[in-house]
Amino acid sequence: MFIIELTYKKAMSEADKFLEAHRTFLDDQYANGTFIASGPKNPRDGGVILAREMERSELDKIIALDPFFIEGISEFKITDFAVTKRSATFNY
């Protein structure tokens, strides 16, 4: 599983210009089962996405489609981790 942490590199006003396109990208990834959860950080200086297990190279190709990546809005820090314990209600 992956934790993808986005940190804005540009002003919020610039990020907001691409927010709808970013959300469409997220919706596409939810529809195909790639993303599990996402949302803005608090304070809103970026966001966090949880992604299912896959090859890192596959995830890199997917992230490259995000308008926030394409437009240089966010820095992307990706952490790969092995799920060894989880709540019975957390299905991924």
Residue-range domain boundaries for the chain = 2-80
pTM reported for the whole predicted model: 0.93
CB 18 within 8 A of CB 68: yes
- Closest by CA to 36, choosing from 58, 54, 18, is 54
Per-residue pLDDT averaged across 3-13, rounded?
96
Class of 2-80 in CATH = alpha beta
The per-residue pLDDT for range 79-90, each reduced to its tens digit, is 999 999 989 888
Write down the pLDDT at residue 89: 87
Write down the pLDDT at residue 88: 87
How far apart CA 49 and CA 67 sit, in angstroms, is 15
Which letter does DSSP use for residue 18 in this model?
T
Phi, psi of 10 (to 5 degrees): -120, 170
The per-residue pLDDT for range 55-86, each reduced to its tens digit, is 999 999 999 999 999 999 999 999 999 999 98
The per-residue pLDDT for range 20-53, each reduced to its tens digit, is 999 999 999 999 999 999 999 999 999 999 999 9
Which letter does DSSP use for residue 37 in this model?
E
